[in-house]
Every structure is written in C-alpha cells, then in structure tokens.
Structure 1
C-alpha cells in the first residue's frame, strides 16, 4: 500500500513529468529541513514514471574553505554569502541545461570533505532529463524551471540538524551553537530577504516526514492555473465543498479522447461527489473524438488540494485543449499519452 509520503512525492513527480525538458528543479529550504532526502526520493519517483532523472547536491559546488570561512567559522553572513559558488553552478549546470544549452553539465567542482577542487568531465544530459538539485539559498541568485520548497519549522529542523551533526561538529553543544549562530541565522536572513516559500512553484510541509503536506503546486503563491474538468468538479456544490468557493470556468473540449466510466471506491471522494460512478476518458488519437468539459481557473493552493483529493490510480498531465489553451487534466494510471481521469475532473 502506498504511504502518505509516497503519495505526496508522487503528485510532485507527476507535475514535473508533465512539464518541458530538460527540467531544472531546485529543492530549497532551511538547513536540516529534509531537502536532500526529499530530493533523492523525488528523483526516484520521476524515474519510476519513465522519465530520465538525476540528483545533484550543492555540496559539490561549495566555495573552498578559505572563502567559506573568511568572515569567521561561526558567521551567519559568511554562510549566507560565501558558502556556495553560485556563479560557477549557473555557468556549468543551469545554463547548459537551459534554452540553447548544449546539455553538457558538471556534477561537482569540489570534494567538500578534502577541500579539493575538481575538474571532472561533463555529463551529457538526455533530452528528457529532470535534474533535481538540493541545497540552501537556491532562489537567491539562481533561475530554475521549478522550485520545491521544503517547509519545516525552525524548531523541528534544529532538533534534526543538531542530532545529525553532533559528531561532525564536535559534540551536541557545538552543533547547537553552530545552528543558532551560523546555519539558522543565515536561513532566517534568507527567508526575510528572498521570501522563498512564496516564490516557489511547489511547497511541501515536512514537519512530519512520514506525513508531508502538499501546500501548493503549479506556480508561485499568486499564480493561477488551468484544470480541465469533465466530471463532478464542474458542479458548484462540489467546488464549494472542495475549495470553499465556486470557480471561474469556460466551456472547452479535449480533442482525441473518448469518455467512459469508472467506479470509485475511495469513501472521501464518494462523499464529496455524491456518487461512486465517475467519468473517465481515454486517448484515442482520433481527431473525431472529443470530450466536452470546462476549463477551470484554480490557485496553486487549490491545485494542490485537487491533487490530494484525487485517488491514487490517477495522475495529472498537461494537455492542449480545443481552444489552444494549456490545462492540467487527470490521467488514469499512466502518463500523458494514456487516459484522463474524471474522479474530480
């Protein structure tokens, strides 16, 4: 049975798989928020959906120790401003994988443990690569295609980080001092100056690692996204029950798909929709086939709520409607070329 964590990571992976290629994805957050673990699991979830995926850590793009510590070993400003070589990272990773790039990128430029510069040959990325990068302060200077912000309270991250780094930093008191004076002091400055959670395209609450919460997906806090609905979500009572309001929408069609029906067993879905019989459409590729529905406008918080509501058999993908507008739809079990689900759609 799928765990709550696997479910949330799967929804984020579905979102990434539905976007352009190659895709540069940051996993951002305060120190010890759980970025590295989430990045590795997200990379695996993307790969499990049939798309090329790789994980890269910003540990390989630190500045040399003499630069990192030039303002003092405990300096928060030194950590915030001097820890990472963002300029080299942009030149050697983000630009090659961006528009017009040659897809040849570097995995690291330093061995952090030995403080030794590295000059390793570049890797050639496949055209469909999703590169997932974890690190701190990733929205301060860098431009990404998608940003996942791992939202963990300071008190939770402090307990995790000091326990994790007790041996590395010479004991628990030393670890606690380092987090208070350097790591989390720098993280607070980052939150104040940049507002990374508001800018991120995905926000995941990670206070409880076994039950993460998908707060937002699909864009920044003020973004609006399109979701094509051909089922119960078109009805105002279901919209009010699910989102607390009625949604703006326009009639549209999904070309090349034919409607069928599916029986839903999730009690929560049945309770909201009032029925266990929901429409499902399958891709035929025949231009004579089309499914009528409504293109709804949702906030990114509402899209996250729709993702959470959807039963696990279905995945979300980006399609072009008859109006030529792009919209998200829910797929039955497969990827974008397969069938579209209507359990809330």
Structure 2
C-alpha cells in the first residue's frame, strides 16, 4: 500500500471535491459519508473541517456523531462498564441509525434526519429536532467502529492508527477499549474497505492513499 504525505487542509479539500463528484446513481442525491476513527484519531475534527468545506461549496450538511446513537447505559453496561467486546458489539444502536438516518436518505426517502438520539453523558434522550436534508445535501456520520454493519455509505474515510500509537494517545481511563479497536481492524478490515485511508500515527504529518 502506497501512502503519500498530505496536509489536513489538502485532504479536506480533496475529500470535499470527491463528494461533489458523486452522481445520483451512486448516492449523489444525498451523499452519505463516514468519517471513521477512534477518538484519539479525531474524526470530529475532520468532520468539522469537511462540513465547512462542503458548505462553502454550496452543499447543506447534517453531522451525526455516532456516540449520540449509543444505547442507554443500562444496555451498554450490561456486561460491565469496561467490557471491550460489548463496546465493539453492542454499544451502537444500529437499528436506530437505520430508522432515523439511513432510511430517510434512501432513494425516495423524506430526507428528514434526526441528528442525535441519546446523550451518553446524561444518559437521556437529546430531544433533538429533525433536520431536513434537501437533495444535494450531505450526511456526515463521524465516530468509531462504523464499518462492518452494512451501512450504505457513498464515501468512507478511515483514520487509521497503529496499535502502539493508539495506546499512546488514548487516555488511561479509556485504554480498556483498545482490544475493541484491534478486533475491528482484524474483523472489519476498515483500511481495506474504506474509500480513503489516512494514517494518523503522527497527527502533524498524516499520510493517505489519495
């Protein structure tokens, strides 16, 4: 695999341009884009920059953070608060994401998306208002462990970190999640299935597949 050094600014602009190149036949009516990466890789930062770049190009954007579609704590912690297998397999409410995000953006869908469902900090419903995403608008779903569920992404960006780098940059109280990311790399192979792969071991010097 050939990796090329890139700046975050150049990467953002290139991904934004690629989104604009999508046609209605391959999801261009309302492109669904994944920014996939562990929290230490900062998928939120890239999603924010990409949202701004797309809006400058005249595209409405709805951002959805995957953690706002986690299940309630009573379900997440059923096997314990630090069970890495549960984190990998059970925390994300995939059924709610299909119902509230992906189904409305399918061909012929309403475009009416719920940008958040559950606040993991307060463990309460966010009571967010639905947002209308018009044709040409873009969904950005950002967060960890997003591939492998069959979500209909039209473009996926995976922010990859080596195990050593991930361990260094993950706060001590979150290192119990590291086995989940190792499983994800092995079982879902996001680096192979993503449309854009970005290595972020050194956040100052990312490299990508182009």
| TM-score above 0.5 | yes
Cα distance in 2, alignment partners of residues 186 and 23 from structure 1 = 28
* Aligned-pair CA distance for 1:188: 0.9
Q: Do residues 68 (structure 1) and 76 (structure 2) align?
A: yes
Q: Do residues 10 (structure 1) and 13 (structure 2) align?
A: yes
Cα pair 1:24 1:144 within 8 Å, conserved: yes
Q: Do residues 213 (structure 1) and 207 (structure 2) align?
A: yes
Matches within 5 A, 1:26-105: 26-105=34-113
Report the RMSD for the aligned CA atoms in angstroms.
1.7
For residue 205 of structure 2, give the secondary structure of its aligned residue in structure 1: coil
**Bigger relative contact order, structure 1 or 2, given CA contacts below 8 A and separation 6+?**
2
Question: TM-score with structure 2 length normalisation?
Answer: 0.88
Evaluate the alpha carbon distance shift between residue 9 and residue 120 of structure 1 in structure 2; reply closer, same or farther with a 3 A threshold. closer
Extract unaligned runs of 5+ from structure 1. 163-171, 216-303, 305-345
Cα distance in 2, alignment partners of residues 46 and 118 from structure 1 = 26
Cα distance in 1, alignment partners of residues 102 and 134 from structure 2 = 15
For residues 172-210 of structure 1, give each alpha carbon's deviation from its aligned partner in whole angstroms, at most 9, with x where no partner exists. 4xx2xx41x3x1111111111111110111111222323
For residue 40 of structure 2, give the secondary structure of its aligned residue in structure 1: coil
Match of 2:33? 25
Cα distance in 1, alignment partners of residues 146 and 88 from structure 2 = 11
How many aligned positions are there? 199
* Aligned-pair CA distance for 1:77: 0.8
- Identify, as 1 or 2, the structure richer in helix: 2
Match of 1:116? 124
Match of 2:3? none
Based on CA coordinates, which of the two structures has the bigger radius of gyration? 1
- Identify, as 1 or 2, the structure richer in strand: 1
Cα distance in 1, alignment partners of residues 47 and 105 from structure 2 = 18
Cα distance in 1, alignment partners of residues 127 and 60 from structure 2 = 25
Match of 2:145? 137
Cα distance in 1, alignment partners of residues 69 and 77 from structure 2 = 15
Cα pair 1:8 1:212 within 8 Å, conserved: no
Cα distance in 2, alignment partners of residues 50 and 155 from structure 1 = 40
Match of 1:202? 196
* Aligned-pair CA distance for 1:95: 1.1
